[in-house]
Amino acid sequence: MFQCVFSSSVLQPHSTSCLFKHLFYHSATPASQKQPEPIYSKKTEIQRQTVRAHSVKLFIFSALQVARQLLLQQQQQQQVSGLKSPKRNDKQPALQVPVSVAMMTPQVITPQQMQQILQQQVLSPQQLQVLLQQQQALMLQQQQLQEFYKKQQEQLQLQLLQQQHAGKQPKEQQQVATQQLAFQQQLLQMQQLQQQHLLSLQRQGLLTIQPGQPALPLQPLAQGMIPTELQQLWKEVTSAHSAEETTGSNHSSLDLTTTCVSSSAPSKTSLIMNPHASTNGQLSVHTPKRESLSHEEHPHSHPLYGHGVCKWPGCEAVCEDFQSFLKHLNSEHALDDRSTAQCRVQMQVVQQLELQLAKDKERLQAMMTHLHVKSTEPKAAPQPLNLVSSVTLSKSASEASPQSLPHTPTTPTAPITPVTQGPSVITTTSMHTVGPIRRRYSDKYNVPISSADIAQNQEFYKNAEVRPPFTYASLIRQAILESPEKQLTLNEIYNWFTRMFAYFRRNAATWKNAVRHNLSLHKCFVRVENVKGAVWTVDEVEFQKRRPQKISGNPSLIKNMQTSHAYCTPLNAALQASMAENSIPLYTTASMGNPTLGNLASAIREELNGAMEHTNSNESDSSPGRSPLQAVHPVHVKEEPLDPEEAEGPLSLVTTANHSPDFDHDRDYEDEPVNEDME
DNA sequence: GATGACATAAACAAAC
DNA sequence: AGTTTGTTTATGTCAT
């Protein structure tokens, strides 16, 4: 069974769509349970799903019913002055209980809670389809509602214009106008609530906007309104004298929730307003109930929107305003395989970052502890920047720090797996991918340093002047193989070093000499005359010859190397390249640049491969440190992506990550004055 | 202790 | 002339 890589501990609301998609596709376990192979009663699960899906549907339905009721009230109000208690549609009385609860407290049903609901259950595709169809039907209905409202609005405008010309207006007329305005407010409120709801749904991957379907915010859906509240509103509206609204005023003091909004930025709300409703400008008013919106739903604080750019991973589409962003979001990032994969990627990015943060914290703690307590240790102090220190630093957190310390060689069988709060997608078996690792104390104690550590500490090495525990040859090879042409000039190699490792930003004379020395010394580096001059390439065969015992000695490691290539890091792109040469299917580009994304690319591929049925058959020959995802990573990898976009290149998200400044390629980098600061 | 891998330093030369 | 690039040698450390 597909092993759920999601950890409830790291699962954030914004990433629940990943979970949902995961569940959707794999019918995997609830995130709250991390059993490797959960066994559920399918029947029970389906029942649970059905009930919850039904609840969601009812929730939406009820919201619409309330909206209808409101409309009805207004119609009645126009005919008969007075109030009528809104009645609930009792079509489904038995099932209204949970919905009523939800409706009684609209604020309670937050997107997070919706996500919770969705997390706790597994909606089958059929159920989801039904739900979406329902929602679409509701949208249609709501559109009709909108039409009606539009007419009402025009009527109102006419009336107000008449007011301006005629001066005093009859009280009844004023009342109607007030009510209509109230209705406007209510409708706006509904729109926002609906948008909020739909957005949350969409974020969870629940909602797909069909191609021909208008964007979400254009289809308001009454939600979260309760009869009593509407009644109270109605009372307030009808009892009030005249609102200060006039035709040209966009600042209505009408407050449907007794909270006055004096926002000076009506554009914020107008951005998300229904264009139909705002055609005559009447709806440019700010939404009174904006406060009820959760903070994250605020247009300007949308996680996927900022600085006029869609922040969907790999997108960066320019959206002039929030509305266009929403359109873009719904059209370009709908619920499909790609979005799902990207969502999962993002989730793992977050997960990885959290893991990295935890590890760095732990590392810091270990460093401090070490330096404070054992500063007199003979071996710890001598060479702060030598290999010992780098090894220690690279390992202290992910592995048992004491074991990684030179002076505490106590446990040869120490776990070499990075501590994983959630399932780590980085494998220690990728350690050989970067090539020989400088052997120092760590090997002595049988605690190999993995490039996974390096990868996870990529940022660390880029920012901290800690020497990477790899040989020059390995790093040179890495630099060369990361390049698209698999060849670099000496200067480009220099740049790669300085870019990737803060350590190499100083003592340039030393390590540059070493680089040159290595290039000349090792046969694996071949100098090729080029038009521009000379470039260096890697003879992979020669490189592997250099240390045959390292890899050939352990077949399982080789196998793991191949199977774990997906989790490759920037430092093991070399292996990827070599594997590419050997026609081993690989999303090489996707794995480059960002370790996390490399891992995630594998997750995507895994998903594309339909790896949920994949078993842990490889576990027997996996290293002890393999994470669950690694364990289930398929050896067989389809070469042809399902998505045409993926076929022509890596996922956009991955591509974007590759374009991260930190991982810019040498080719892009060589134009920059890199060496100036290090000389 | 021999050997290999590696780092570091340095001398030297050719090319730029 | 100075710098960069490339080669080679020497030396030391460390692990096997």
Residue A258, sorted as left (phi over 0), alpha (psi -120 to 50) or beta, turns out to be left
How many whole angstroms separate alpha carbon A132 and alpha carbon A130? 5
**pLDDT band for position A514 (cuts 50, 70, 90):** very high
CA distance A572 to A611: 24
Token pair for A390? 């780098």
As a whole number, mean pLDDT of residues A614-618 equals 33
Q: Letter for the amino acid at A248? A: G
Count of helix runs (H) and strand runs (E) in chain A? 28, 4
Beta strands in A326-462 (DSSP E): none
Q: What is the 3-state secondary structure (H, E, C) of A99-110?
A: HHHHHHCCCCCC
pLDDT at residue A516 tops 90: yes
User: Distance between CA A393 and CA A364 in Å, rounded?
Assistant: 9
Helices (H), A446-547: 451-456, 458-463, 472-482, 490-500, 508-521, 540-546
Contact A452, A430 (CB under 8 A): yes
Burial class (CB within 10 angstroms; exposed 0-12, middle 13-18, buried 19+) of A158: exposed
Contact between A208 and A335 under an 8 Å Cβ cutoff? The reply is yes
DSSP string, A196-263: HHHHHHHHTT-----TTSPPGGGS----S--HHHHHHHHHHHHHS---S--SS-------TTS-----
pLDDT of residue A102: 32
SS3 call for A648: coil
Nucleotides of C under 7 A from a protein CB: 4-10, 14-16
Among A94-103, A133-142, A190-199, the range with the most confident prediction by mean pLDDT is: A133-142
Q: What is the DSSP pairing of strand A305-306 with strand A309-310?
A: antiparallel
Estimate to the nearest angstrom the gap between the alpha carbon of A655 and the chain centroid: 15
Q: Is the CB of A518 under 7 A from strand B?
A: yes
CB neighbourhood size of A378 (10 A): 9
pLDDT in tens, A269-290: 332 333 333 333 333 333 333 3
CA–CA distance, A111 with A13 (Å, rounded to integer): 8
Query: pTM for the complete prediction?
Result: 0.31
Model confidence pLDDT, tens digit, residues A477-502: 888 888 888 889 999 999 999 888 88
pLDDT of residue A591: 31
| Half-sphere CA count of A374, side-chain side, radius 13 A | 15
Q: Which residues in 525-564 of chain A line strand B, with CB less than 7 A from it? A: 533, 546-547
Share of chain A above pLDDT 70, in %: 20
Least confident of A69-73, A247-251, A396-400, A473-477: A396-400
Whole-number Å distance between alpha carbons of A679 and A150 = 69
Burial class, A65, CB count within 10 angstroms (exposed 0-12 / middle 13-18 / buried 19+): buried
Beta-ladder partners of A194 = none
User: How far: A439 CA to C14 C1' (Å)?
Assistant: 8
Query: Which one is predicted more confidently, A288 or A464?
Result: A464
Question: Can you give the pLDDT at residue A429?
Answer: 31
Q: Please, which pLDDT band fits residue A451 given cuts at 50, 70 and 90?
A: very low
The tokens 């290293």 sit on which residue?
A: A623
**Tokens representing residue A427 in the block:** 């494998």
Nearest to A272 by CA among A228, A355, A227, A216: A216
| pLDDT, mean of residues A405-412 | 29
Q: What is the pLDDT of residue A318?
A: 76
Least confident of A39-43, A345-349, A463-467, A481-485: A39-43
What's the pLDDT score for residue A438?
58
* Average pLDDT of the segment spanning A63-83: 45
Cβ < 7 Å from strand C, A residues 498-557: 513, 516-517, 519-521, 527, 533-534, 536
- Of residues 238 to 257 in chain A, which lie within 7 A of strand B by their beta carbon? none
Give the DSSP letter of residue A278.
T
Residue A486: what pLDDT?
87
Structure tokens at A633: 């990573």
Alpha-carbon distance A64 to A84, whole Å? Answer: 18
Residue with tokens 């405008």: A157
**Pairwise pLDDT comparison (A91 vs A111), residue with the higher score:** A111
Integer Cα distance of A22 and A347 in angstroms: 11
Distance A546 CA to C9 C1' (A): 21
Backbone angles phi, psi at A22, to 5 degrees: -60, -50
Confidence of residue A513 (pLDDT cuts 50, 70, 90): very high
Taking residues A437-441, what's their average pLDDT?
47
Per-residue model confidence (pLDDT) at position A301 = 62
How many Å does it take to go from CA A74 to C1' B9?
90
Q: How many Å from the CA of A503 to C1' of B13?
A: 30
- For chain A, the average pLDDT equals 47
Q: Supply the pLDDT for residue A530.
A: 75
What's the pLDDT tens digit per position in A140-152? 555 665 665 556 5
> What is the predicted pLDDT for the residue at A143?
62
* Sole residue written with tokens 């995630």: A600
Contact A37, A613 (CB under 8 A): no
Our measurement of CA A580 to C1' B4, in angstroms, reads 30
Which pLDDT belongs to residue A325?
78
In whole angstroms, give the CA distance from residue A438 to residue A417.
Answer: 19
Which pair of tokens denotes residue A89?
């549609």
- Mean pLDDT is highest, among A169-183, A204-218, A354-368, for A354-368
Instruction: Provide the pLDDT confidence category of residue A156 given band limits of 50, 70 and 90.
Output: low
Q: What is the pLDDT of residue A134?
A: 54
In degrees to the nearest 10, what's the CA dihedral of A380, A386, A392, A393? 120
Residue A440 approaches strand C within 7 Å at CB: yes
Ramachandran assignment for A27, one of left (phi > 0), alpha (psi -120 to 50 degrees), beta (any other): left
Element (H, E) at A537: strand A534-538
Q: Which residue has the tokens 């995961």?
A: A22
The confidence score (pLDDT) of residue A322 equals 79
Tokens describing residue A666: 């040498």
**pLDDT for A500:** 86
**pLDDT reported for residue A532:** 73
Q: What is the DSSP letter of A592?
A: S
Which range (A26-35, A455-464, A500-509, A629-638) has the least confidence? Answer: A629-638
- pLDDT tops 90 at residue A262: no
Q: What is the per-residue pLDDT across A92-127, written as a single tens digit (0 to 9) for each?
A: 333 333 333 333 333 333 444 434 433 433 344 444
Tokens of A464: 């901290």
Distance CA A5, CA A344 (A): 10
Are the C-beta atoms of A132 and A58 separated by less than 8 Å? Answer: no
d(CA A400, CA A393): 12
Residue A157: pLDDT band by 50, 70, 90 thresholds?
Answer: low
CA of A651 to C1' of B4 (A): 43
Q: Residue range A419-423: average pLDDT? A: 30
- Closest nucleotide to A387: CA versus each C1': B7
What per-residue confidence (pLDDT) applies to A465?
78
- Look at residue A499 in the predicted model and tell me its pLDDT: 87
State which H helix or E strand residue A188 sits in.
helix A171-203
Å between CA of A399 and C1' of B10? 39
Structure tokens at A165: 């010309």
pLDDT at A494: 92
Rounded Cα distance, A411 and A444, in Å? 11
Give one DSSP letter per residue of A53-77, joined into a string: HHHHHHHHHHHHHHHHHHHHHHHHH
pLDDT band at A467 (very low <50, low <70, confident <90, very high): confident
Q: For residue range A333-392, what is the model confidence (pLDDT) as tens digits? A: 777 777 766 766 677 666 776 777 777 777 767 766 665 554 333 333 333 333 333 333
φ/ψ of A535, rounded to 5, equals -125, 160
User: CA-to-C1' distance for A463 and B9, Å?
Assistant: 27
Strand C lies under 7 A from the Cβ of residue A407: no
Residues A44-54, mean pLDDT to the nearest whole number: 38
- A234 vs A142 pLDDT, higher one: A142
Task: Look at residue A529 and tell me whether its pLDDT is greater than 50.
Answer: yes
The residue that leads in pLDDT, A340 or A571, is: A340
The string of DSSP letters for A601-624 reads HHHHHHHHTTGGG--SGGGGGS-T
CA dist., res. A394 & res. A392, Å (int): 5
Average pLDDT over every residue of A14-18: 33
pLDDT tens-digit map of A213-226:
333 333 333 333 33
What positions of strand B are covered by protein, i.e. any atom < 7 Å from a CB? Answer: 5-11, 16
**Taking the CA of residue A31 as centre, how many other CA atoms within 13 Å lie in the half-sphere pointing to its CB?**
26
Q: Band of the pLDDT at A227, cuts 50, 70, 90?
A: very low
Q: Residue A639 — very low, low, confident or very high, per pLDDT cuts 50/70/90?
A: very low
